[in-house]
Amino acid sequence: MKYEIRLAQADEFLDVAALDRITWPSMNDTFIPDGEHIWRVWCDYANLLVAEIQDREPLSESHLIAGALVMFPTKQHEQVLHKIMVHPICRGKGIGKALMKEALEGARVPVLLTVDPENKPAVKLYEGFGFRERQRIDGYYRPHEHRLIMAFEPGNSP
């Protein structure tokens, strides 16, 4: 599968929002994907990378975005990696890693993300990119949803 990692174009926000709905399906109605309105804002004001399929397979002609990553700035002069996602039929082909590598290579300030501390494979993956645990916050979203805040410092090679 051939793909290109690049910045999203403003008119691709609906494709990215559709990918969000496919990638993070509703789990018993406890999770709501980010809406089209916020993806439109992120196309203009965030660092929104997409992986565009070059060979038109295996996705349809109408949907050529296989993956996306969004980071946005904070007032503390950091970036928050809010979401990284890969279409289910495109997983295991290195797209997520390519998105992460591209995002981190361009980082000029620390990059933060949150992850469930019980998700050991994800924690290990992020550590492999140079992220280190900064803080654990119990009850981050809800009383039973804990998170690690992990940070990547510029200059650490992914």
Strand spans (E) along 9-131: 47-53, 65-73, 79-86, 111-115
Tokens of 143: 């009383």
Is 141's pLDDT higher than 50? Answer: yes
The pair of three-digit structure tokens given for residue 96, joined into one six-digit string: 């997520």
Q: Which two tokens stand for residue 38?
A: 């916020």
* Count of domains observed in the chain: 1
Label residue 66 by pLDDT band (50, 70, 90).
very high
Does 154 map to a domain?
no
The answer to whether residue 144 is domain-embedded is no
Contact 82, 50 (CB under 8 A): no
Q: Which domain holds residue 22?
A: 3-109
pLDDT of residue 57: 59
In a domain, 158, yes or no: no
Instruction: Please indicate, yes or no, if residue 23 is contained in any of the structural domains.
Output: yes
What's the pLDDT band for 30 if we cut at 50, 70, 90?
low
Q: Do the domain assignments include residue 97?
A: yes
Question: Does 47 map to a domain?
Answer: yes
Whole-prediction pTM value?
Answer: 0.84
For residue 130, being part of any structural domain is answered with no
pLDDT digits (tens, 9 = 90+) for 17-29: 888 888 876 554 5
Contact 34, 17 (CB under 8 A): yes
CATH label of the domain that carries residue 97: 3.40.630.30
